[in-house]
A and B are shown apart, each in its own frame.
Chain A
């Protein structure tokens, strides 16, 4: 009778392989811990020299001046302004696109249009930045003479176009998850696709659409190159999209391009900006993840 056990050497090999694979998977946790660790460590150094109060309430961000001011609000304002403009563009377009693709489009049309949308997300962001600065801004200046060469409107619009694919694909997933019976019930009462989409499907898919919204916000907050190229390099506490602004991300790029020795206060400012950025996107990412889980559980 053959013996039904494995050779010890084989067991050892299996176990080593499983451990190596496990360590690769655990590596991702290590990456997150490193991100938090490095940001926290350098920010800690920053906050030893700059008070929390000044960071949050001061209205100017001028770390390189003789009398430096370290208020983060101008950078946050720049980030939020460009993000808001991007969402004003992306949310309606993304949602309408999603409704069209899930409720109206014939199968073949869908098969063609979906890759086109994915293409929008594949274009390198520097190219979008080029477009915002050299194509869109001059065109907008014809309609809005007051528009300065660097402004928040142009990159905001481009960012909006960039994140349409994210919003539309998550919304579409959410809408597709609504069972056919609910749609058919609505059609049976004589409702048109339009009425069904807006009065039945969207309310049912609401948490998925909210998740799409949140993912869009997170993506726009973290966008760097479009705003670095087209929005300008002056931190500016304003709500006016026609003026130049600087976002958290663009600030980090601007400092990195210059000659910043390790350990100086300027070096630490990029980590302070970085940790602010990280927590903003983390909060939105967690919210989005939780909402997306809810779509799957709802049915």
Chain B
């Protein structure tokens, strides 16, 4: 009897210890992340200034800034969004509303899951071979934007599918019952209700894209760009130019990478400052996405 009590006590003890171990190990990542943020902030906060945000990179670390980098990031994301959203949402809607259960649909689905797991640098190689060489688009904003669009396409498709799947079947059936066609149902019922979920997925995808370095390096973004792509507003008719799409560019993570790779400590401080800006933008975008998801869930109660 005593033996049994001892065993039970030992098991209870192990259980309680594990509860604490479990909590700690869940928090390990969080602690490390906090250490990272503090370290980044300590090193880079001094360098953050209006001047930093509005200067070009330079050989002198004190004068270098990230103007070309964040403009490049912004333009790139614009191209990425314009390419990935239409194709991704269309594909997601097809797979959820129109696709029949045949082998072709299975192949498409397996493909999307597989593409989500392909390393980002392989997308860079694809872009190098396809966009730069075959399509002769050069090392331009367009190439970079399309590469990132391919990268986040699986994410957009999956987010669309989840959002569409969440709509109860009764809505669809009610629509068909009034005599609507499939497209009418999709256009007037499915899309409006799933917009929140799709938007969340898209913003999270874009926040991932803004931090991507490897595929952009492979397609040839340079690390010392001391000029901006051509402004979209031109002084002659028709006042809007698309030349910026074909210009060389750089993006923020590449600028940070370039500075981190230099041995001078002053450049590494710049890298920290660039890192802060990058983190702020990433967290901001994630925060917006989560906020949208929350608002959307509050409003729409099935």
Contact = CB atoms under 8 A, between A and B. Distances in A.
B76 interface: no
A104 B16 CA distance: 10
A274 B223 CA distance: 23
* Residue in A13, A22, A225, A285 whose Cβ sees the most chain B Cβ within 10 Å: A225
28 contacts: A18-B98, A21-B93, A28-B112, A31-B153, A32-B115, A34-B126, A35-B122, A42-B129, A97-B22, A104-B22, A117-B29, A119-B33, A123-B36, A123-B279, A124-B253, A125-B211, A127-B40, A133-B260, A218-B117, A224-B213, A228-B214, A228-B257, A229-B257, A256-B124, A256-B128, A257-B223, A278-B118, A285-B118
Contacts of A256: 124, 128, 217-218, 220
A52 interface: no
B157 A28 contact: yes
B211 A31 contact: no
B66 interface: no
A125 to B, nearest CB: 7
A120 B11 contact: no
* Residue in B8, B119, B157, B261 whose Cβ sees the most chain A Cβ within 10 Å: B119
A222 B121 contact: yes
B82 interface: no
B184 to A, nearest CB: 9
B23 interface: yes
B210 interface: yes
A4 to B, nearest CB: 9
Contacts of A176: none
Contacts of B93: 21
A35 B153 contact: no
Contacts of A164: 28-29
A130 B112 contact: no
Contacts of B218: 252-253, 256, 270
A32 B108 CA distance: 10
A129 interface: yes
Nearest to A127: B275
A168 B154 CA distance: 21
B91 A24 contact: yes
B137 to A, nearest CB: 14
Given A129-B260, A190-B8, A99 B181 contact: no
B113 A249 contact: no
Contact of A25 (B91, B121, B182): B91
B99 interface: yes
B125 A249 contact: no
Given A35-B126, A38-B130, A124-B253, A281 B121 contact: no
B18 A28 contact: no
A44 interface: no
Ranked 3 nearest A-B pairs via Cβ: A222-B119, A124-B211, A100-B22
Contact of A270 (B29, B125, B157): B125
A213 B223 CA distance: 36
Contacts of A221: 119
Contact of A31 (B27, B115, B125): B115
B275 A126 contact: yes
B111 A28 contact: yes
A152 B100 CA distance: 48
Given A93-B25, A124-B211, A124-B253, 7 more contacts: A6-B181, A24-B86, A24-B88, A105-B22, A126-B211, A222-B119, A229-B257
A100 B125 contact: no
A270 B150 CA distance: 20
A70 interface: no
B94 A25 contact: yes
A124 to B, nearest CB: 3
B214 A225 contact: yes
Contacts of B118: 35, 222, 278, 281-282, 285
Contacts of B28: 93, 161, 164
A259 B38 CA distance: 37
Interface in A194-251: 194-195, 197, 215, 218-219, 221-225, 228-229, 249
A181 interface: no
Given A127-B279, A218-B117, A257-B223, A22 B25 contact: no
A140 B117 CA distance: 32
Contacts of A18: 94, 98, 182-183
Contacts of B128: 256
A28 B278 contact: no
Interface string B174-209: 000000011100000000000000000000100110
B21 interface: yes
A193 interface: yes
Given A130-B260, A252-B218, A38 B125 contact: yes
B271 interface: yes
Interface string A1-26: 00000100010011001101110111
Nearest to B99: A25
B110 interface: yes
Interface in A268-298: 270-271, 274, 277-278, 281-282, 285-286, 288-289
B282 interface: yes
B68 interface: no
A165 interface: yes
